[in-house]
Amino acid sequence: MAAPPKKAFPLRLDPALYAAVERMAAADLRSVNAEFECLLREALAKRGMKLAAPNPPRRGRPPKGEDHEDA
Protein backbone atom coordinates (compact mmCIF):
# COMPACT_ATOMS: atom_id res chain seq x y z
CA MET A 1 0.00 0.00 0.00
CA ALA A 2 1.50 3.33 -1.04
CA ALA A 3 1.69 6.21 1.39
CA PRO A 4 -0.28 9.32 0.49
CA PRO A 5 1.81 12.06 -1.12
CA LYS A 6 3.34 14.63 1.19
CA LYS A 7 1.80 18.08 1.41
CA ALA A 8 3.95 20.75 -0.26
CA PHE A 9 3.63 24.43 0.64
CA PRO A 10 5.81 27.54 0.46
CA LEU A 11 7.52 28.60 3.68
CA ARG A 12 9.16 31.96 4.21
CA LEU A 13 11.95 31.92 6.78
CA ASP A 14 14.52 34.28 8.16
CA PRO A 15 17.79 33.40 6.38
CA ALA A 16 19.61 32.95 9.72
CA LEU A 17 16.96 30.46 10.89
CA TYR A 18 17.25 28.50 7.65
CA ALA A 19 21.06 28.47 7.92
CA ALA A 20 20.84 27.12 11.49
CA VAL A 21 18.46 24.33 10.44
CA GLU A 22 20.68 23.58 7.45
CA ARG A 23 23.69 23.14 9.79
CA MET A 24 21.64 20.86 12.08
CA ALA A 25 20.50 18.80 9.09
CA ALA A 26 24.08 18.36 7.87
CA ALA A 27 25.21 17.28 11.35
CA ASP A 28 22.37 14.71 11.49
CA LEU A 29 22.96 13.56 7.88
CA ARG A 30 19.42 14.60 6.93
CA SER A 31 17.94 16.84 4.28
CA VAL A 32 16.70 20.24 5.42
CA ASN A 33 13.15 19.05 4.75
CA ALA A 34 13.62 15.96 6.94
CA GLU A 35 15.16 18.13 9.68
CA PHE A 36 12.14 20.45 9.63
CA GLU A 37 9.81 17.44 9.90
CA CYS A 38 11.81 16.10 12.84
CA LEU A 39 11.81 19.48 14.61
CA LEU A 40 8.08 19.93 14.06
CA ARG A 41 7.31 16.44 15.40
CA GLU A 42 9.45 17.13 18.49
CA ALA A 43 7.72 20.47 19.09
CA LEU A 44 4.26 18.90 18.71
CA ALA A 45 5.19 16.06 21.08
CA LYS A 46 6.30 18.58 23.71
CA ARG A 47 2.85 20.18 23.46
CA GLY A 48 1.11 16.84 23.88
CA MET A 49 0.12 16.24 20.25
CA LYS A 50 0.62 12.57 19.44
CA LEU A 51 1.31 11.68 15.81
CA ALA A 52 1.67 8.32 14.18
CA ALA A 53 5.26 7.39 13.42
CA PRO A 54 6.30 8.36 9.90
CA ASN A 55 6.24 5.59 7.32
CA PRO A 56 9.50 6.08 5.40
CA PRO A 57 9.76 4.72 1.87
CA ARG A 58 11.39 1.31 1.61
CA ARG A 59 14.80 1.49 0.01
CA GLY A 60 17.38 -0.97 -1.11
CA ARG A 61 17.17 -4.57 -2.12
CA PRO A 62 14.10 -6.55 -0.98
CA PRO A 63 14.75 -9.20 1.68
CA LYS A 64 15.21 -12.78 0.45
CA GLY A 65 11.96 -14.68 0.14
CA GLU A 66 9.86 -11.58 -0.57
CA ASP A 67 7.81 -11.76 -3.77
CA HIS A 68 9.29 -9.59 -6.50
CA GLU A 69 9.68 -9.68 -10.24
CA ASP A 70 13.07 -10.06 -11.85
CA ALA A 71 13.78 -7.68 -14.73
Q: Answer whether residue 3 shows pLDDT above 80.
A: no
C-alpha–C-alpha distance, residues 32 and 15, integer Å? 13
Identity of the residue numbered 29: L
What is the per-residue pLDDT across 23-63, written as a single tens digit (0 to 9) for each? 999 999 999 999 999 999 999 999 999 888 777 667 788 77
**Is 0.85 surpassed by the pTM of this model?**
no
What is the per-residue pLDDT across 6-28, written as a single tens digit (0 to 9) for each? 889 999 999 999 999 999 999 99
Q: Answer whether residue 1 shows pLDDT above 60.
A: no
C-alpha–C-alpha distance, residues 12 and 66, integer Å? 44
